[in-house]
Amino acid sequence: MAELARRTVTVASASGLHARPAKLFVQEAVRLGVPVRIRAGERTVPANSMLGVLSLGAVQGTEVTLESDAAGAEEALDALAALLSRDLDAEEALDV
């Protein structure tokens, strides 16, 4: 088994980690296909579970930790951490 990889990141999206930013995060976790857990406070949930991620109640500025010991963990964590550290709400205005 690979070593446990970990990234701690602060949620950057203005609306926190729910609604659209949560969906984008979960979709990316599903797409990457690497089992990743996300922790906020006492609670740890699978990154590919929309309900799990919503249940964290993470707002802008909440510190969350991503963890995985699966193959490809480093790359997956980098991608997911990068997503969390961007303000996905601010980018929406440019989506059109």
Partner 1 sequence: MREDLLDPRAILLHESAADRTEAIRRCGQALVDVGAVAEPYVEAMLERERTISTYVGEGVAIPHGTAAAKEIVKHDAICVVRFPEGVDWDGERVTLCVGIAARNDGHVPLLAALADILLDPERARTLREATEVHQVIKELT
Residues 2, 30, 51, 71: which binds partner 1 (CB under 8 A)? 51
Q: Which stretch binds partner 1 (CB under 8 A): 15-23, 31-39, 63-71, 74-82?
A: 15-23
Does residue 93 interact with partner 1 by CB under 8 A? Answer: yes
What six digits make up the tokens of 10? 């602060």
Does residue 15 interact with partner 1 by CB under 8 A? Answer: yes
Q: How deeply is 1 buried, as exposed, middle or buried, from its count of CB atoms within 10 A (0-12, 13-18, 19+)?
A: exposed
Give yes or no: 75 in active site.
Answer: no
Closest CA to 17 of 57, 63, 51: 57
- Of the residues 18, 29, 53, 77, only one is catalytic, namely 18
Q: Site residues (CB under 8 A) for partner 1? A: 14-16, 18-20, 23-24, 49-60, 89, 92-93, 95
